[in-house]
Amino acid sequence: MTESIDNSQNPRLRFKRVSSDLDWPMPVAASSGAAGLDLAAAVTEPLTLKPGSITLIPTGWAVAIPPGFEAQVRPRSGMALRHGLTLINTPGTIDSDYRGEIGLAVINLGPKEVVVKRGDRLAQMIISKVWRPVSELCDDLDDTDRGVGGFGSTGV
């Protein structure tokens, strides 16, 4: 049975084409259960990424995210598994006051060159509520069982 999603409370995103020659629809979810909107490469010609190289890849889109929300940009699992492509700053954050083109800081962690072609779906964008904490200075923090135990302190 397919789950129905109630969109009545969801934030409304407004997309703007940054490239006039963009020949695909605005970012959309690939399936009814997908959490993210796919972001594709808006390269004008195929781009070869050598192993270890980092490249900023344009998407051709800018977005208006409502106040109180952010977009998290994450790699697509299939591209990571098949080719070793991921985002160097994953997840990347798009703040609600940013209006520039969405760019993807892609790194090739795989052993072979990867050719990125126009329209290749490289990342996904998740919209999340932002909670702005109230910070306060104190002399002591509450005690916990873990205490100050850091990396690896809870076992493997």
Q: What percent of the chain has pLDDT over 70?
A: 94
Torsion of CA 8, 99, 26, 4, to 10 degrees: -20
pLDDT at 19: 80
More confident residue, 21 or 120: 120
Residue with tokens 């190289």: 53
The residue-averaged pLDDT of 93-118 equals 97
- 156 within domain boundaries: no
pLDDT-based confidence at residue 23 (cuts at 50, 70, 90): confident
- 143 within domain boundaries: no
- 140 within domain boundaries: no
What is the pLDDT of the chain when averaged over all its residues?
91
List the CATH number of the domain containing 122: 2.70.40.10
- 79 within domain boundaries: yes
For residue 1, pLDDT beyond 60: no
pLDDT at 154: 77
pLDDT at 40: 95
Give the total number of structural domains in the chain: 1
pTM for the predicted model, two decimal places: 0.84
Q: Is the peptide bond before 75 cis (omega within 30 degrees of 0)?
A: no
Range of the domain at 18: 14-129
* 29-84 per-position pLDDT tens digit: 989 899 999 999 999 999 999 999 999 999 999 999 999 999 999 999 999 999 99
- 46 within domain boundaries: yes
pLDDT at 6: 63
- 119 within domain boundaries: yes
Helices marked H in the chain: 77-83
- In one-letter notation, the amino acid at residue 80 is A
- 153 within domain boundaries: no
Question: Which of 97, 91, 37 lies closest to 67, judged by CA?
Answer: 97
- 36 within domain boundaries: yes
